[in-house]
Amino acid sequence: MNQTLEQLIKLQEIDQRLLEIIEHMGDLPGMVKSQESEIASLEVENQQKKERLSEIEKSIRHHEAEIEDFSTKLKKYKEQLFLVKSNKEYDAISQEIDHMKSAISDSETAQITFEEEKSELEENIKLNKGKIESVTEALSNNQSELDAAMAEITHEQKELETNRDTLYKDIEPNYLNQYEILRNSRNGVGMVSIIDSACGGCYGQLPPQTVIEIKENKQILTCPNCGVLQFWDGSEEY
């Protein structure tokens, strides 16, 4: 068999096995990464909500103190109203009473608005906390599965990658580049064995003379239809 052809066949076998290893892990790596990102995002969101909640609670306490202060002053002005001795004093105190009533109303309205926002924030923080706990649990399960899968295949994967690196250096650059271009554009397949008289990649029929030459495994040929490198694995009678 042509030496370069044999090297390319071995390279394809290694690449195929590496693809199988990746498929064996399935969507776990992506799921783990996505869940880690989701948890981080929820935690940042909750931290921002907690900071806003702290600000709101401070504002609520401020308005509570204001309402208490205004109420005390209102009571004082109402008591003074009965002690006035002139219409001028009466009008002045009446204005202060109206001002205190308006100030109390404004503070109460603001306090209600803050209380509503506080309630909404507390509910959102609670919901996010539940989401974080749920996603964390799912992440833990997926990470355990991924770790188990990695432990199972890590040794084989490293060995394959080492063999690939060694083989890679010995293959003629022109054919290697051709193989890599095909592999990257055809879901990891750069070389296939013919099936009967058809390409094992696109299943298009090959010219009889091309089939004969491919089965000799003496030269590197491509499918005239899809361009994939061809060889014969000896599974048929020649």
* 118-143 pLDDT tens trace: 999 999 999 999 999 999 999 999 99
- Helix, strand, or coil here: 66? helix
The conformational region for residue 203 under phi > 0 = left, psi -120 to 50 = alpha, else beta, is left
Asked if residue 184 and residue 151 are part of one domain, the reply reads: no
Asked if residue 29 and residue 66 are part of one domain, the reply reads: yes
Asked if residue 100 and residue 85 are part of one domain, the reply reads: yes
| 6 domain residue, yes or no | no
**What number is the average pLDDT over the span 148-156?**
80
User: pLDDT tier at 207 (50, 70, 90 boundaries)?
Assistant: very high
Asked if residue 84 and residue 199 are part of one domain, the reply reads: no
- Supply the DSSP symbol for 232: -
CATH number of the domain to which 64 belongs? 1.10.287.1490
Tell which of 170, 189, 206 closes a domain: 170
> Hey, how many other C-beta atoms are within 10 angstroms of the C-beta on 137?
11
Q: What does the alpha-carbon distance between residue 111 and residue 106 come to, in Å, rounded to a whole number?
A: 8
The two beta strands, 191-193 and 229-231, are: parallel
- Cβ pair 111, 70 in contact under 8 A: no
| 236 domain residue, yes or no | no
Asked if residue 180 and residue 123 are part of one domain, the reply reads: no
User: pLDDT tier at 236 (50, 70, 90 boundaries)?
Assistant: low
Asked if residue 216 and residue 106 are part of one domain, the reply reads: no
Asked if residue 208 and residue 90 are part of one domain, the reply reads: no
Q: What does the alpha-carbon distance between residue 59 and residue 115 come to, in Å, rounded to a whole number?
A: 10
Asked if residue 197 and residue 145 are part of one domain, the reply reads: no
Q: What does the alpha-carbon distance between residue 62 and residue 76 come to, in Å, rounded to a whole number?
A: 21
Q: How many domains does the structure of the chain reveal?
A: 2
Q: What does the alpha-carbon distance between residue 7 and residue 176 come to, in Å, rounded to a whole number?
A: 10
- Provide the token pair at 233: 């694995």
pLDDT for position 72 = 95
User: pLDDT tier at 238 (50, 70, 90 boundaries)?
Assistant: very low
Closest CA to 7 of 231, 237, 236, 215: 231
Asked if residue 63 and residue 166 are part of one domain, the reply reads: yes
Residue span of the structural domain in which 216 resides: 175-231
| 3 domain residue, yes or no | no
pLDDT tens digits along 178-193: 999 999 998 889 999 9
